[in-house]
Structure 1
Amino acid sequence: MADAEVIRIVYIPAMGRDRYRFLEPDAPHFLTCTAVKWLPLFAQPANALILIDSLRFLQHERGLLIHGYVIMENHCHLIAGGPRLARSISSFKSFTARQMVDRMRERNSPALSLLVWYRGRHKRDREHQVWQEGSHPEQIEGETMMRHKLEYIHNNPVKRGYVDDPLCWRYSSARNYEGLEGLLDVVTDW
């Protein structure tokens, strides 16, 4: 069974709020990062570019390997791996949250009050919450699972009715897999 796939998700009861763990951080993982209460924060191109710039930084400075991605209006999916993956994702969420909050403050955005309203009660170290907790990592176990997850993320904008062809969605690695230039460098040979 060369192409057998095994999904290894660890469920650890009563140990923190996020019960999913990175089993082998260097291995590619399918991740989902969701805006708090599914707010459409990334529908604004400037906020989507904050995510892109942060991922690019992590690629160049922290060795993050991105195999696939899509940024939608209220969440993003990544297939990523590399050294200290959990820490890179934590840095990504923390940095992008600060950048978006600062941008909203500069523009006196009414969405800022929603980020205060929806902040978790246990989040006493901050005034706003941009991201839901966790990223629910699923380790990619084999080529079949990798192809399935890539197809899923690349077709996300098509299923939502935003585009007819995944190549038309700017904030996705679909173009990279067709040999075209994308917004981020993507490792397509896995």
Structure 2
Amino acid sequence: MVRYRRSVVPGGTFFFTATLYDRRSSALVEHVEKLRGAFRATRLESPFTIDAIVILPEHLHVIMTLPEDDSDFSGRWKRIKSLFTHRVVASGTPVPHNHRGEFALWQRRFWEHTIRDETDFERCADYIHFNPVKHGLVASPIDWPYSSLHRYVRAGILPADWGGAGEINGKFGERGE
């Protein structure tokens, strides 16, 4: 049996998809402040840079860059998921348990892709920012509130009408692609 091996690139930049266990859930946007808090707390403990992000109802995409001497993105994801789950549970929101008795809010794994170059980075960032349109949540990417596109527009990297027409294709760890 072939065992999957995660990329080990200290200081690398990676594209991730993390998904809730229940694909019908909207917990990520319903509890977006708890998710943001989980990211902030994890970044204080184990620094990383969020280069691009979109938070959708039941999954999120992020491009993350690690410090030069660090390749432990798995530990960061474990911490983000754990903090978010415990904050949601503490708020009184019921979260089911799996057969091991663990909270079953997140899918156990995440999908990752090592960013190879600037073109790959731009392709992945474009995919992230266009994703709410792809999923039919908004007509234009700028209309989705939980996206780093707003930061890109403020910085003058992209225009506010970016992605108003067209389609971005690619396989980025989502079902049905």
Whether these two folds match at TM > 0.5 is: yes
Kindly indicate whether the alpha-carbon contact (under 8 Å) linking 1:42 and 1:72 is maintained by their aligned counterparts in 2: no
1:40 maps to amino acid = S
Structure number with higher relative contact order (C-alpha < 8 Å, ≥ 6 residues apart): 1
Corresponding position of 2:39:
55
Matched, 1:139 2:114: yes
Change (3 A) 1:51 1:22: farther
Counterpart position of 1:183: none
- Pair 1:80-2:53 in alignment: no
Show the counterpart of 1:6: none
Alignment partners' CA distance in 2, 1:22 and 1:79? 15
Contact kept in structure 1, 2:29 and 2:55, CA below 8 Å:
no
The answer to whether the 8 A contact 2:15-2:63 is kept is: yes
Corresponding residue of 2:25: 40
TM-score (norm 1): 0.71
- How many residues end up aligned between the 2 structures? 151
Q: Aligned partners of 1:174, 1:25: CA distance in 2, in Å?
A: 27
Whole-angstrom distance in 1 between the partners of 2:49 and 2:123: 18
For residue 164 of structure 1, what is the aligned residue in structure 2? 139
TM-score, length of structure 2 as denominator length? 0.76
Segments of structure 1 that go 5 or more residues without pairing to the other structure are 1-11, 181-190
CA deviation digits over 1:96-152, x for unaligned, max 9? 11111222xx2xx5x53xx23xx2x3x34x2x2111011121100001111111111
Alpha carbons 1:26, 1:85 under 8 Å: kept: no
Name stretches of at least 5 consecutive residues in structure 2 with no aligned partner. Answer: 156-177
**Separation in 2, partners of 1:78, 1:20:** 20
